[in-house]
Structure 1
Amino acid sequence: MPEASEFADLARFRDQRDDPVPDVVFTLHPEPELVWRNELGGLTYRVGDRYVKWSPRTAGIELARERNRLLWLEGRHPAPRVAAYGEDHEAEWLVTDGLAGEHAVGDTWRERPSEAITAIAHGLQAIHAVPVDDIARGWESWLLRTPPELGTRPPILNPVLVHGDACAPNTLISHDGAWVGNVDFGDLAVGDRWADLAIASMSLDWNFGEGHQDEFFAAYGTGRDDERIRYYRALWDLES
């Protein structure tokens, strides 16, 4: 999960530095393009029309979790389709088909924040509307934890499918400003919609500057719930 400063300089998250490109990535495409680097050493490459996430064992990120969730999501919500998965003693990798659209914090959308914010809200509405009757049970996620130091969790009045990492870059937007899909589903689970709304609204400050949160809640179709916002932001910070 990202820190508040993560998106201040997007270029540094597309810098290969001195790290070698993993061999498995070269097997997929002779000229892979690095599109994201997380703080734990995980790398995401564009390889032709597909993307490959590569995560070292030391990162503590289980790409198998995301693979399982994406397989379940197929046909239920616009999300990357799993093309391949692999692992060895050093790393895991997940290959997915590309989706149309650009992530919501690209240069285009920083200049058109209202459209981006509306698209982010519409994407979360769509996720939260996915029926969960046949969802796999036992999926772990930060949003389901109840650390005693945070006190009593606010009651979940209407459980929904929760993205689990609803930061702005995980929404994809078409050239005309419409929401077209979402990415990064490793923490997908059934829970409180406010686990998404609290983090999505917070990430707007990081990506577009302060002053957009009420616009986001209006686009989603809800007023603020400060109790749940405080709880889920505190849980996010504790688990990140």
Structure 2
Amino acid sequence: MTSLSFTNVPPPDHPVPDPVRAAAGGRPIVPVWYNEAASTFRLGAGPDARYAKWAPAGSDLDLAGEAARMRWAGTYVAVPQVLEQASNAEGAWLITAALDGEMAVVDRWKQDPATAVRVIGESLRTFHDALPVAVCPFSASAEERVAEAERNADSRAHRTLHPDFAGRTRAEVLKRLADIPPVDKLVVCHGDTCAPNTLLTPDGRFAGHVDLGALGVADRWSDLAIATWSTTWNYGDGWQEPLLDAYGIAPDPERTEYYRLLWEVGP
């Protein structure tokens, strides 16, 4: 995984794939986000706005899987409504209805991190409490993720680890990951709790969660480790414990370190 911040805003002339242009139906198209795996576009504005995620052929993103997860989670929590999901030889796309909110890392909330961090923590607790583990059809267990990291170790050997883990060899990393901490509490995890994936309303209330492609049952620290880490990228130092306070849990350094390392090397 890559440690993302709000620097991933694409230029206005970011290329628009034909299926995204077709889905816009004449609405203005604004590129809003991109990384090595996907691009996201806003189609139109106001209550009729939509969002389109595009993953080119060869991307690791499974947009069909993300659509299935969003449809399931939408029964219980606020996530975007899936309008269309399809693919062709060039890539795959996912069209969703817009939620009435902005990412927790737009300038307004970067200037008011206390509000953003509180909403992220509170809404993550609500997410974990609302989604029923017993009937969730998706898994994101550490065991599965470690097995995938081992299978893909060679192809991902070029990845640079976060400075927190600098100096560790690939063998050392895999050995550490094999020693999975006991589960604190199984919940349905969001799977990508970087701050941009929580949306806030203009008056500072929770609006919804986005980017649920990695949703599945796992230890809640799989989400908490990344949510707290993301505060350092997006708001600076001093916001990890306020997020945990808003969630309602004490720090757990061992599980936090473990799930951050797993995030760095795995899916």
| Unmatched tracts of structure 1, length 5 or more | none
Other-structure match for 2:41: 45
Other-structure match for 1:93: 93
- C-alpha offsets along residues 156-198 of structure 1, whole Å, 9 cap, x if unaligned? 1321010010000000111121112100000000011101110
- C-alpha offsets along residues 93-135 of structure 1, whole Å, 9 cap, x if unaligned? 0000111111100000011100000000011111111222221
SS of equivalent to 1:204: helix
Matched residue count: 233
Residue type of the partner of 1:120? I
Taking the aligned partners of 1:14 and 1:141, their CA distance within structure 2 comes to 33
Of structures 1 and 2, the one with the larger relative CO (CA 8 A, separation 6+) is: 2
Other-structure match for 1:20: 15
| Unmatched tracts of structure 2, length 5 or more | 151-173
Taking the aligned partners of 1:13 and 1:122, their CA distance within structure 2 comes to 26
1:161 to 188, 197, 206: 188
Taking the aligned partners of 2:241 and 2:210, their CA distance within structure 1 comes to 24
2:227 to 200, 205, 212: 200
Map 1:1-240 to 2 at 5 A: 1-3=1-3, 6-7=4-5, 10=7, 12-16=8-12, 20-29=15-24, 30=26, 31-40=28-37, 42-48=38-44, 49-129=49-129, 130-137=131-138, 139=139, 144-146=144-146, 148-149=174-175, 150-239=177-266
Residue type of the partner of 2:179? T
Aligned CA distance change for structure 1 residues 224 and 140 (closer, same or farther; 3 Å): closer
8 Å contact kept, 1:54–1:91? yes
The Cα RMSD (Å) is 1.8
SS of equivalent to 1:133: helix
Taking the aligned partners of 2:215 and 2:21, their CA distance within structure 1 comes to 30
Taking the aligned partners of 1:74 and 1:143, their CA distance within structure 2 comes to 27
Residue type of the partner of 2:70? L
Aligned CA distance change for structure 1 residues 225 and 141 (closer, same or farther; 3 Å): closer
Give me the identity figure in percent: 39
Taking the aligned partners of 1:56 and 1:142, their CA distance within structure 2 comes to 28
Please, what TM-score do these two structures have when normalized by structure 2?
Answer: 0.82
